Amino acid sequence: MKLSFTKMQGCANDYIYLDCRTSGVPENIAALSQRLSRRHFSIGADGIICICAPVTAGADAMMRIFNADGSEGKMCGNGIRCVAEWLYTHGTAKPKLAIDTLSGLKTVSRMGEGLWQVEMGTYTAMAAALPAVNMGEGPLVDLPLEVEENLWRVTCISVGNPHCVTIVPDVDSLKLEQIGPGFEHHENFPERINTEFVQVVDATHLKMRVWERGSGATLACGTGCGSIAAALRLLGLLMEAHQPLTLAALSEQTGWPKSTIHGLLSTMRESAVVDQQSDGRYCLGVRLFEYGCAVGASWSVSDLAKPHLQHLASVTGPSVFLSMLNRSEVITIEQVQSRAGLRVVSEVGTRLPLYCTSQGKVFLSAMADHEAKRVLSRRTLEPYTPRTLVTWEELFRVMQAARENGYAVEDGEYRFGLCSPSAPVRDSSGAVRYAVGVVGMFDSVHSPDFQRDIDLTCAAAAQISTALGYRA
């Protein structure tokens, strides 16, 4: 077939543009997008965008997006700006254009030569809008997400299409082609998702790499950048003002419509990132204070926890350990050795199984049963000693007891003769991030000494949690 097309890019998001206003979308558009989008073997692009006749009265056109894998998307910020430029240069020379999309009618304004601004509308972090499952109803802010045995902290939002945002220390070192598909096809996102990996460079600069559903690694994502930047812009204005601001004042300072700002603030208010006073003005929320406490503490959790671990060791006697979850194991990140001649030593970096150590049981008890079973299914439940629990029924019973008690117990299950109580350390969001454990030789887990050490371990864990910003 003979095809007339225009190749355009917006911030390096490149698409093949077809004029379908009179002819309609080609019947084989999915296969066509797959074929023509192949780089090095065809035109090469992130996909095909069809410029169609509008469906809304008064609109100038409709945009339909077909990704490189043939699937249809709902919205593309960079793509719609290119559509506006195409319309402007092909007979619709208006300073403001209304364009239909599968996520609603969008307004695009000409800001200069080849420069367009799109009104994205409101965004939301509620699960139903993305959609997302198994993550609660929302707002989906700073939640744990396990992707192919790695645990990430993510914030999920919809700006007409779904996005998953995660902060990383270095975006350049990411093997995006290996990591991206796990996010895109995660079971929690039934319609797949775009993922932004964001590095905070300094107070005014972010660096981002994106994996887009249907297209893979792309050089830009307008909706992703827009959603990140918009939220940070509003927070920056509220911080610099040193006083509450009205919706009108924020609109005046940003140049954005009040409807957009109201949508952003509504979602941030739900997660306590901003607060709205009785007079309607907005200010920074208490959640930011908690984040600040957590960030400050996370710079060196070992240094923060060390005095509490040393005190715990001095009043108990056995060795004391601070551990964190690493896939299907726990890893020791700090220790204070016992004063006893015969003592337990675990080098920093030592990996231990989840199911038969008290530290591991702390993390398992913080998971839902189905999640714990999925994590444990990655390895054989090896019987290290005759006391090791290796059946789901036994483990779930122990996990439920740990949830009710607020601590977990190991009774010779990993090393015969060793007993250990461990308690959870929570961050400002209430998530279990670490475990504090006392490991030594006790007559019995029912002995007075062991019961005393349970109480002391729980107290130390609570103190470290408070230092991390947790408020019960």
Q: Within the chain, what is the greatest distance between any pair of CA atoms?
A: 88
Residues 267-270: contacts with CB under 8 Å, at least 24 apart = 267/123, 267/124, 267/125, 267/126, 267/139, 267/157, 268/231, 268/234, 268/235, 270/125, 270/138, 270/139
CB count in 10 Å sphere of residue 169: 7
Q: Under a CB-based contact definition with an 8 Å cutoff, are residues 436 and 464 in contact?
A: yes
Q: Do β-strands 432-439 and 319-326 pair in parallel, antiparallel, or remain unpaired?
A: antiparallel
CA dihedral 131, 189, 259, 67 (to 10 degrees): -110
DSSP tag of 159: S
Residue of 20, 76, 82, 293 marked catalytic: 76
Q: Is 7 helix (H, G, I), strand (E, B) or coil?
A: strand
Residue of 20, 50, 52, 221 marked catalytic: 221
Q: Is 108 helix (H, G, I), strand (E, B) or coil?
A: strand
221 a catalytic residue: yes
Strand ordering across the sheet containing 351-353: 351-353, 329-336, 319-326, 432-439, 419-426, 408-411
Give the whole-angstrom CA distance, residue 288 versus residue 235.
10
Amino acid at 333: I
Q: Is 156 helix (H, G, I), strand (E, B) or coil?
A: strand
Helix/strand/coil (H/E/C) assignment for every residue in 305-340: HHHHHHHHHHHHCCEEEEEEEECCEEEEEEEECCCC
283 a catalytic residue: no
Give the whole-angstrom CA distance, residue 144 versus residue 165.
12
Q: Under a CB-based contact definition with an 8 Å cutoff, are residues 51 and 19 in contact?
A: yes
Q: Is 37 helix (H, G, I), strand (E, B) or coil?
A: coil
Q: Under a CB-based contact definition with an 8 Å cutoff, are residues 470 and 427 in contact?
A: yes
Active site amino acids: 76, 221
